[in-house]
Amino acid sequence: MTAMTDADFRRAIRARTLRRNLWLAFLLLPPMAVMFIFIFLPMGSAVLYSVYEWDGLVRGDFVGLENFREVLFEPQKSKFLFNAFKNNVIVFVSVMVVQNGLALVLAMLLAREPKGYRFYQVVFFLPVILSTVIIGFQWKLFLNPVFGLVNNLLRAAGLDSWALPWLGLPETALPSMILVNAWHWVGFPTLVFLAAIHRIPKDYIEAARLDGASEWRIARDIIWPLMAPAVTIIVVLTFIGAFNWFEIPYVMNGLEGAPGYSTDMLGLLFYRTAFGSISATDSDFGAGSALAVLIFLFIFTVSLIFTRLLTAREIELA
């Protein structure tokens, strides 16, 4: 064996470090490049585009915050923004109550492992895997006033006066869509909640039961506080989902939020502003980008606040 000099040794180390760095670069550069080109570049450009005037696909002059002023304060445009915003808030609150409330009840019941509980899990989750487009069209057919399944059932039950044109009335269109959304998604929060309940150590619940605590008290005082992390995630996901709501209203009642903008959403308004529509105006990339920036800032800020507030009530299990 030949003795290694200090210099040889250092050279060998350097060669090895170089080889390792090249290997790491080979692993990291392709995914980072894809992320940069298709996520960070467009996201950054969106901010930049919002301070320019646009003529179709051609960027014009720098206009500062003019596009923001237009969508926020010009009554002709801002009335759409505030109406859509109000509808998104309604969607968020209703989905929280109807869909996540039901999911919580279902999860609590399934956690007691009643007979057939694996079957129930699969059944409740089934609509979750289907495309929103399939769900939207399916329910559009079911809600058809003349031959739809819903009104047929109501008439068969003797409730003829209840057989309404559900998607045609401003009072019932949005609630119908929210219920369709709940039918589509309820399995998701149910199984997320269920997984969280299963992670609570069994002895906590057993001990309480031995002490004679009622099921209601166990649910309220043990399970509910200990499943807090799952609740945090579902609230934040519901919030983001509600303010990105697009597919269901688009498929069921079109881009204009019919009837009478009662189902208009920020997502639809953004799409109409950016790419134009029959009724509204031509495509306006400047105003569209301004809307995108505003929607993003709002979702980002409120998600952060929700996460802060909700994680504060989470309890670490020792």
Partner 1 sequence: MQTAKQKNSSLDRVLIQIFLIGNAIIMLYPILMMALSGFKTNAEIFTRPFGMPSSFNLDNFKVIWTQTDVPRYLINSAIVTGFSVLFLLVMGTMAAYALSRYRWRGSIMVSLFFLSGLMLPLRLAIIPLFIQLKAMGLTDNPLGLIAIYTAMSLPATVFILTGFLRSLPAELEDSARIDGASELRIMVQIMTPLISPALVIAGIYNAVPIWNDFFFPLIFIQSPEWKTLAQGLTQFFGEYSINYGVLYAGLTLAALPIVVIFIAQSRRFIAGMTAGAIK
Which residues have a Cβ under 8 Å from the Cβ of 191 and sit 6 or more positions away?
107, 121, 124, 125
Find residue 62's DSSP bridge partners: 52
Site for partner 1 in 265-294 (CB under 8 A): 267, 270, 274-275, 285, 288-289, 292-293
**Does residue number 60 form part of the binding site for partner 1 (CB under 8 A)?**
no
* Nearest approach, Cβ of residue 224 and partner 1 (Å): 17
The window from 35-43, 76-84, 163-171, 257-265 that contacts partner 1 (CB under 8 A) reads 35-43
Asked if 49 contacts 283 with a C-beta cutoff of 8 angstroms, the reply is: no
Question: 3-state class of 173 per DSSP?
Answer: helix
CA distances (Å), 9 to each of 14, 21, 62, 183, in order?
A: 9, 18, 59, 67
Question: Which of residues 88, 132, 176, 181 is near partner 1 by CB under 8 A?
Answer: 132
Question: Which of residues 12, 97, 131, 201 is near partner 1 by CB under 8 A?
Answer: 131
Question: 3-state class of 229 per DSSP?
Answer: helix
Question: Which of residues 5, 147, 161, 278 is near partner 1 by CB under 8 A?
Answer: 147
Find residue 69's DSSP bridge partners: none
* Nearest approach, Cβ of residue 303 and partner 1 (Å): 8
Question: Which of residues 72, 169, 228, 233 is near partner 1 by CB under 8 A?
Answer: 233
Q: What DSSP state is assigned to residue 280? A: S
**Does residue number 97 form part of the binding site for partner 1 (CB under 8 A)?**
no
By CB under 8 A, how many residues form the interface with partner 1? 89
**Does residue number 138 form part of the binding site for partner 1 (CB under 8 A)?**
yes
Question: Which of residues 62, 73, 82, 137 is near partner 1 by CB under 8 A?
Answer: 137
Give whichever of 153 and 171 is closer to partner 1, judged by the CB atom: 153
Question: Which of residues 18, 41, 159, 305 is near partner 1 by CB under 8 A?
Answer: 41
Residue type, 61: D
**Does residue number 30 form part of the binding site for partner 1 (CB under 8 A)?**
yes
Q: Which of 41, 49, 52, 88 has the alpha carbon at shortest distance from 293?
A: 49
CA distances (Å), 164 to each of 143, 176, 197, 268, in order?
A: 9, 11, 40, 25
Angle at 268 between CA 85 and CA 301, to 5 degrees: 45
* Nearest approach, Cβ of residue 132 and partner 1 (Å): 7
